Amino acid sequence: MALGEAPPNSCSDSMKSPSQRPTLSSFAVSSKGPYGGVAQLVERFGRIEEARGSIPLTSTSFRKILSRSRGGAARLSTVIFVLLISGCAQTASEGVFAGLEVDRPQIMPDPVLIDTQGQSFSMRADTKGTVRLVYFGFTSCPDICPVHLSQLSDVLARPGLPPNIKVLFVTVDPDNDTPEVMRSFLDQFSSEFIGLTGTKERLLDVQRQFSALIATSAVDENGEAGDIGHDGRVFAFAPDDLGRTQYPHPTRQTTWTRDLPILATLR
Amino acid sequence: MCLLIIPYFLFQRRAPKGYKAPKSQNRLFIAAVVLLWLATDWPLGLLGASYLASAHMLQFLLYTMAVAPLLLLGVPEWMARRIAGRLRLYRILGRCAKPVVAGVLFNGILILTHSPWAVDNFRASQFGSFGMDLLWLVAGLLVWIPLVSPIPEHRMTSYPGRMAYLFLSLGVIPAVPGGFLTFASFPLYATYELAPRVHGLGATTDQQLAGLVMKLGGIPIVWGTIVVLMYRWSEISRAEGAEARLLNKSTLPSEDPGQSITDPDQ
């Protein structure tokens, strides 16, 4: 199954184009159930009514059911059925992941940077077999970075989530984000988070390798460097080293808890 | 704040002749306005609007449990009648003062304004946030009218009825959404979940705290008021009992002559 394609399931019929879909007004109820889920539901509803002795159903058109004197409840039930089915169709049209799925999965680059212990760290090789969540940010970021990291910290602390998930925080402000500064910043969220730094040129190259937007610092009226504009996405790589999804700001915890277990199984 | 305090004192000049406003009433009104300011302005207003679900809930509690009853207690009867008359609100207030209507309206507003849809949409703008605060204040006034309305005919007369109303509308029903917030496994409000953290307070913990504030925060006020009502009820019952005994005593001597006639011992 290609990525982004709806998984085959029982609701696939309801995803047909409007012209292909049988219209409700001309929908004949038969015991053969030629239209899958809708027909079966309507038929079941019909049998209930038939058992009550109110409507002989097998040869009654859907329009007739609606026009009966007890039609209030019937109409309401029908509307609920249709809404349920349309909800099902919507589910079927969703992808595998709640995050943004990329058209062409990318193999995780393997640059070597410096971690918060001052040791060289190979981003792919040193995290082999885990889900890698790569994020480019800086420690004095006022909003997006702390929100992303605290969301991940909250999510990863939840029981039942797979343990093989690594968060790699790559700084885009190497002048200020020394290994010590990064460690104390990341420890506010989790001591497990990995902080990575390097030379300016190296970090620019790493951002390009990950196809991230290149971080640039804004200059204020006095000509001094202000906040840094940077990519707000978290790049996710499964244990098979393929990057299938990205998570922009804001990403809710429900999205993370839905996707991380799926990513962890892709080996 | 000035829009409340200045008209209040200016209006008092038009009090009926011979009427002297009790000082305690003025104090209650000023206390209500001060609390309103505390709930609306920095820091609680800002935190509640954008950062913390628990601050949002504390604001709700202040508006509905403190500001609203104090405002009602601080307004004299003649002023309430004039305002209601000028704004042609008397009939509407009379209808809203029915306990079932007031209880349903308050809890309806409570549930609506704490639904994730409402919070995430209203809190997104200053105008929406102001609208939510205003709605809470109106809901608070509505729910307290049957208990402490300045217009006596809008108040409930029966003490057990008042206590039952207070317990149900302010004690029991708000605990249900409070429970949802406390026991929800995920943050319900995107506004607070995706806001920068305040003092490292996690989104889920903040939401649980908000649920606890909603469930437990009103308890002292609700039960405190119930205790006061019970005390007053017992005092009135005692006074009524004493009065009845006095009446009995005063009627007994008039029956004595008859008794003496029919007394078989004599």
Tens digits of per-residue pLDDT, A211-223? 999 998 877 777 7
Whether residue A114 sits in one domain with residue A21 = no
Look at residue B155 in the predicted model and tell me its pLDDT. Answer: 94
Residues in A whose CB is inside 8 Å of some CB of B read 142-143, 146-147, 150-151, 153-154, 188, 249-250, 252-254, 257
Look at residue B232 in the predicted model and tell me its pLDDT. Answer: 94
Whether residue A170 sits in one domain with residue A127 = yes
Shortest Cα distance, chain A CAs vs residue B195, angstroms: 7
Whether residue A182 sits in one domain with residue A80 = no
Tell me whether residue A234 is in a domain. Answer: yes
Interface probe for A, chosen from B120, B185, B197, B205 (most Cβ of A below 10 Å), is B197
Would the CB atoms of A151 and B194 count as touching at under 8 Å? yes
Tokens of A38: 């809708």
Cis peptide before A250 (omega within 30 of 0): yes
Which residue has 């109409």 as its token pair? A75
* CATH number (domain holding residue A198): 3.40.30.10
- Look at residue A143 and tell me whether its pLDDT is greater than 90: no
Whether residue A142 sits in one domain with residue A114 = yes
- Look at residue B261 and tell me whether its pLDDT is greater than 50: no
Whether residue A131 sits in one domain with residue A75 = no
Whether residue A138 sits in one domain with residue A254 = yes
Whether residue A148 sits in one domain with residue A111 = yes
End of a domain among A93, A110, A140? Answer: A93
Tokens of A138: 């800086």
Which chain B residue lies closest to A189 (C-alpha atoms)?
B200
Q: pLDDT tier at B3 (50, 70, 90 boundaries)?
A: confident
Q: pLDDT tier at A78 (50, 70, 90 boundaries)?
A: low
End of a domain among A93, A112, A146? Answer: A93
Instruction: List the 168-197 stretch of B: residues with Cβ below 8 A of A.
Output: 186-187, 190, 193-197
Would the CB atoms of B186 and A146 count as touching at under 8 Å? no
| CB < 8 Å to B187, chain A | 252-253
Look at residue A151 in the predicted model and tell me its pLDDT. Answer: 94
Total of domains in chain A: 2
Burial of A8 (0-12, 13-18, 19+ CB in 10 A): exposed
Q: Is B199 on the interface with A (CB under 8 A)?
A: no
Which chain B residue lies closest to A251 (C-alpha atoms)?
B194
What is the C-alpha separation between B194 and B189, in angstroms, rounded?
A: 9
Whether residue A131 sits in one domain with residue A70 = no
Whether residue A171 sits in one domain with residue A108 = yes
End of a domain among A52, A74, A93? Answer: A93
Q: pLDDT tier at A94 (50, 70, 90 boundaries)?
A: low
Look at residue A71 in the predicted model and tell me its pLDDT. Answer: 55
Q: A with B: how many residue pairs have Cβ under 8 Å apart?
A: 34
Whether residue A180 sits in one domain with residue A229 = yes
Would the CB atoms of B204 and A188 count as touching at under 8 Å? no
Burial of A12 (0-12, 13-18, 19+ CB in 10 A): middle
Would the CB atoms of B197 and A254 count as touching at under 8 Å? no
Tell me whether residue A52 is in a domain. Answer: yes
Least confident of A78-87, A219-228, B13-22, B102-111: A78-87
Whether residue A218 sits in one domain with residue A144 = yes
Which of B221, B214, B225, B220 has its CA nearest to residue B58? B214
Tell me whether residue A20 is in a domain. Answer: yes
Tell me whether residue A2 is in a domain. Answer: no
Would the CB atoms of B187 and A253 count as touching at under 8 Å? yes
Least confident of A226-235, B84-93, B254-263: B254-263
Checking ipTM against 0.95, whether it exceeds it is: no
Would the CB atoms of A146 and B202 count as touching at under 8 Å? no
- What is the span of the domain harbouring residue A40? 12-93
Whether residue A234 sits in one domain with residue A119 = yes
